[in-house]
Structure 1
């Protein structure tokens, strides 16, 4: 087999693993429940808010590639639960930014612990070097996939043809 054919076979194998990965993630999301019954889909919006700081709701929807009405519903739930508060946008008094509250940070910590505990169980028999390699390569894959999404700052149409 020539090198291009080998690469094609490897890419095909990877492409066949992605739907399996997505199904497993979906199953895990359905199976895992937060201890206080909060909506997990809404809670994951806290991660970019914590990482990037206060954001407008529209910017958050764009960032997570979600429908604005869905994000609006989730944000309303987060505000009602006291996990997020709206703060006036200094650059435009008519708009507000979403800010994670102390309770929101605590909910994020609980989610992180839950994810980490699950991954610790899954990779318990792995060599630490394998975990490091997977983490590096998976991050690279995610970065490169994100860079191909239309409408993102990272989008480079030339990368799609590589």
Structure 2
């Protein structure tokens, strides 16, 4: 059974506040690498699973190819990633983490873990696991919605249509 409209509205408002707070706190977070923008972290994290083409990375991080290409160029300049031959297509290249890039990703993960321990100091493990479980499910639902829209070739509507009530 779908959630009530009022509950959905409250949740959407809280999520907007969450996004705004995350954006605000990003400006105060410490730099882990002097020449690296936090916006390229998702690319680094995506490469933990192995080398990938820039177009595949763009899909993984929900960005456009030109943006990811610029980020990859910056990461190559800082020797955090390297371009390697694509074994499936000798004409193409993939991007892979270097040892320094792998080390940076590990430092980022460790640092984030310690930071969240501080933020959630009043929570117990059960509360954090429960929140993580719900967040994981929500992300899965968002991913399914993105995939559905892409499959239909549709842009996301500004506002979804109001459900029709049967008047029969």
| TM-score w.r.t. length of structure 2 | 0.82
Gaps of 5+ in 1: 153-159
- Deviation per CA, 1:13-39, whole angstroms, max 9, x where unpaired? 101111111111111222213233122
Once the two structures are overlaid, the 10-residue window that deviates more, 37-46 or 14-23, is 37-46
Partner of 1:156: none
In 1, the alpha carbon distance for the partners of 2:116 and 2:5 equals: 30
Partner of 2:97: 100
Q: Where does structure 1 differ by over 6 angstroms across 4 or more consecutive aligned residues?
A: none
> What CA RMSD, in Å, does the superposition of the two structures yield over aligned residues?
2.1
When the two structures are aligned, how many residues end up with a matched partner? 150
1:80 to 77, 82, 92: 77
Map 1:138-153; keep pairs closer than 5 Å: 138-149=135-146, 150-151=149-150
| TM-score w.r.t. length of structure 1 | 0.85
Gaps of 5+ in 2: 152-159, 162-168
Partner of 1:66: 63
1:120 deviates by 0.5
Map 1:9-158; keep pairs closer than 5 Å: 9-37=6-34, 38-51=36-49, 53-149=50-146, 150-151=149-150
